[in-house]
Amino acid sequence: MQPLQTTPRSALALASAPDTTRLRPVARKAPGLHLIGDLHGCRCDARLMHDAAYLEAFCKRAVADAGLTTVGALFHSFGEGAGVTGCIVLAESHLSIHTWPEDGYVTLDVYVCSYSTDNSASAQQLFDTVATAFGPTEPHLHRVERA
Protein backbone atom coordinates (compact mmCIF):
# COMPACT_ATOMS: atom_id res chain seq x y z
CA MET A 1 0.00 0.00 0.00
CA GLN A 2 1.32 3.40 -0.96
CA PRO A 3 1.49 6.21 1.62
CA LEU A 4 -1.17 8.87 1.43
CA GLN A 5 0.00 11.73 -0.75
CA THR A 6 -0.66 15.18 0.62
CA THR A 7 -0.39 18.44 -1.20
CA PRO A 8 1.26 21.23 0.77
CA ARG A 9 -0.99 24.25 1.22
CA SER A 10 0.28 27.77 1.18
CA ALA A 11 -0.17 30.07 4.17
CA LEU A 12 -2.64 32.08 2.10
CA ALA A 13 -4.70 28.98 1.33
CA LEU A 14 -4.73 28.00 5.02
CA ALA A 15 -5.72 31.51 6.09
CA SER A 16 -8.69 31.54 3.72
CA ALA A 17 -9.82 27.98 4.54
CA PRO A 18 -12.99 27.73 6.60
CA ASP A 19 -12.39 27.39 10.34
CA THR A 20 -13.89 24.04 11.34
CA THR A 21 -12.41 24.05 14.84
CA ARG A 22 -14.93 26.44 16.41
CA LEU A 23 -18.42 25.54 17.49
CA ARG A 24 -21.03 27.67 15.84
CA PRO A 25 -24.49 28.43 17.19
CA VAL A 26 -27.29 26.59 15.50
CA ALA A 27 -30.18 28.68 14.21
CA ARG A 28 -32.87 26.28 15.41
CA LYS A 29 -34.40 25.78 18.86
CA ALA A 30 -32.42 23.66 21.31
CA PRO A 31 -33.62 20.05 21.05
CA GLY A 32 -33.31 19.30 24.76
CA LEU A 33 -34.12 20.57 28.22
CA HIS A 34 -32.22 19.38 31.29
CA LEU A 35 -33.77 20.19 34.67
CA ILE A 36 -31.48 19.60 37.64
CA GLY A 37 -32.51 19.78 41.27
CA ASP A 38 -30.65 19.64 44.56
CA LEU A 39 -33.47 19.29 47.06
CA HIS A 40 -32.46 20.02 50.66
CA GLY A 41 -34.62 19.77 53.76
CA CYS A 42 -36.98 17.18 52.27
CA ARG A 43 -40.05 16.47 54.38
CA CYS A 44 -42.08 13.75 52.75
CA ASP A 45 -43.56 10.29 53.00
CA ALA A 46 -40.60 8.18 54.21
CA ARG A 47 -41.31 5.58 51.51
CA LEU A 48 -40.15 8.06 48.86
CA MET A 49 -36.75 8.23 50.53
CA HIS A 50 -36.30 4.54 51.50
CA ASP A 51 -38.48 2.23 49.42
CA ALA A 52 -37.18 1.56 45.89
CA ALA A 53 -40.39 -0.11 44.65
CA TYR A 54 -42.57 2.71 46.01
CA LEU A 55 -40.35 5.44 44.52
CA GLU A 56 -40.21 3.63 41.17
CA ALA A 57 -44.01 3.31 40.98
CA PHE A 58 -44.40 6.98 41.94
CA CYS A 59 -41.91 8.14 39.29
CA LYS A 60 -43.42 5.93 36.56
CA ARG A 61 -46.87 7.35 37.31
CA ALA A 62 -45.45 10.90 37.14
CA VAL A 63 -43.80 10.08 33.79
CA ALA A 64 -47.09 8.80 32.35
CA ASP A 65 -49.04 11.76 33.75
CA ALA A 66 -46.57 14.11 32.00
CA GLY A 67 -47.23 12.37 28.68
CA LEU A 68 -43.72 10.89 28.42
CA THR A 69 -42.83 7.27 27.60
CA THR A 70 -41.00 4.85 29.92
CA VAL A 71 -38.67 2.49 28.06
CA GLY A 72 -37.10 0.87 31.13
CA ALA A 73 -36.32 1.47 34.79
CA LEU A 74 -33.92 0.38 37.51
CA PHE A 75 -34.23 1.41 41.16
CA HIS A 76 -31.92 0.19 43.92
CA SER A 77 -32.33 0.48 47.68
CA PHE A 78 -29.17 0.64 49.76
CA GLY A 79 -30.75 -1.19 52.69
CA GLU A 80 -32.54 -0.49 55.94
CA GLY A 81 -32.58 3.22 56.69
CA ALA A 82 -30.52 4.07 53.62
CA GLY A 83 -31.48 5.79 50.40
CA VAL A 84 -32.49 4.83 46.89
CA THR A 85 -30.93 5.41 43.49
CA GLY A 86 -33.13 5.13 40.44
CA CYS A 87 -33.25 5.82 36.76
CA ILE A 88 -36.08 5.72 34.26
CA VAL A 89 -35.03 5.59 30.64
CA LEU A 90 -37.53 7.55 28.58
CA ALA A 91 -38.13 7.42 24.85
CA GLU A 92 -37.47 11.16 25.20
CA SER A 93 -34.31 10.69 27.42
CA HIS A 94 -34.28 10.06 31.21
CA LEU A 95 -35.17 10.78 34.82
CA SER A 96 -32.63 10.00 37.54
CA ILE A 97 -33.06 10.35 41.28
CA HIS A 98 -30.91 9.73 44.34
CA THR A 99 -32.08 10.00 47.96
CA TRP A 100 -30.15 10.52 51.19
CA PRO A 101 -32.80 10.18 53.93
CA GLU A 102 -30.24 10.68 56.69
CA ASP A 103 -29.60 14.17 55.30
CA GLY A 104 -33.10 14.96 53.99
CA TYR A 105 -31.47 15.41 50.59
CA VAL A 106 -32.47 14.37 47.06
CA THR A 107 -30.89 14.95 43.67
CA LEU A 108 -33.23 14.89 40.68
CA ASP A 109 -32.46 15.14 36.97
CA VAL A 110 -35.04 15.23 34.21
CA TYR A 111 -33.71 15.46 30.67
CA VAL A 112 -35.90 15.36 27.56
CA CYS A 113 -34.89 15.86 23.97
CA SER A 114 -36.39 15.63 20.51
CA TYR A 115 -35.78 17.27 17.16
CA SER A 116 -39.43 16.87 16.17
CA THR A 117 -41.38 17.70 19.36
CA ASP A 118 -40.94 20.32 22.06
CA ASN A 119 -41.23 18.31 25.29
CA SER A 120 -40.27 21.22 27.57
CA ALA A 121 -43.70 21.50 29.21
CA SER A 122 -43.78 17.75 29.87
CA ALA A 123 -40.28 17.86 31.36
CA GLN A 124 -41.27 20.75 33.64
CA GLN A 125 -44.46 18.96 34.72
CA LEU A 126 -42.53 15.76 35.53
CA PHE A 127 -39.82 17.64 37.42
CA ASP A 128 -42.35 19.70 39.40
CA THR A 129 -44.44 16.65 40.32
CA VAL A 130 -41.47 14.67 41.62
CA ALA A 131 -39.71 17.58 43.34
CA THR A 132 -42.89 18.79 45.06
CA ALA A 133 -43.57 15.32 46.48
CA PHE A 134 -40.34 15.55 48.50
CA GLY A 135 -41.37 18.88 50.08
CA PRO A 136 -37.91 20.45 50.08
CA THR A 137 -37.46 23.50 52.30
CA GLU A 138 -34.41 24.58 50.31
CA PRO A 139 -34.59 23.59 46.64
CA HIS A 140 -31.77 24.55 44.28
CA LEU A 141 -32.98 24.28 40.70
CA HIS A 142 -31.08 24.61 37.42
CA ARG A 143 -32.45 24.74 33.89
CA VAL A 144 -30.13 23.95 30.97
CA GLU A 145 -31.24 24.15 27.35
CA ARG A 146 -29.18 21.57 25.49
CA ALA A 147 -28.24 22.00 21.87
Catalytic positions, written as ranges: 93, 98, 113
Core vs surface per residue 43-66: b (16+ CB within 10 A) or e = ebeeebbbbbebbbebbbebbeeb
Give the bridge partners for 48, in sequence order.
none
CB atoms within 10 A of CB 106: 27
Nearest to 46 by CA among 76, 8, 82: 82
